[in-house]
Amino acid sequence: MSSDLKDIVKDSSVEAIDIFNIRINPLRRSEFLSIIESGIRNGCQIAQFGVNSATINDIVRNKDFRITIENADLVHIDGMSVVWALRSFGFDIPERVATPDLADDVLAMADRGRMSVFLFGAREDILSLCRQNIEEKYPGLLIVGCRNGYYRPDEEKEINKMINNASPDILLLGMSSPKKELFYDSYRHKLDARYILGVGGYFDIMSGLIRRAPQWMQNAGLEWLFRLLQEPRRLWKRYLIGIFQFFWLVIKEKFRRAFNRKKE
**C-alpha distance from residue 69 to each of 154, 180, 235 (Å):** 23, 11, 23
Cα atoms in the 13 Å half-sphere on the side-chain side of 258:
6
Give the DSSP per-residue string, 178-206. Answer: THHHHHHHHHTTT---SEEEE-TTHHHHH
CATH class of 3-213: alpha beta
The pLDDT tens digits of the residues spanning 16-58 come to: 999 999 999 999 999 999 999 999 999 999 999 999 999 999 9
Quote the pLDDT of residue 64: 94
The pLDDT tens digits of the residues spanning 160-214 come to: 999 999 999 999 999 999 999 999 999 999 999 999 999 999 999 999 999 999 9
Q: Is residue 11 predicted with pLDDT exceeding 50?
A: no
The pLDDT tens digits of the residues spanning 58-97 come to: 999 999 999 999 999 999 999 999 999 999 999 999 999 9
Phi/psi for 257 (5° steps) reads -70, -40
Quote the pLDDT of residue 10: 42
Whether the ω angle into residue 232 lies within 30 degrees of 0, i.e. cis, is no
Phi/psi for 110 (5° steps) reads -65, -35
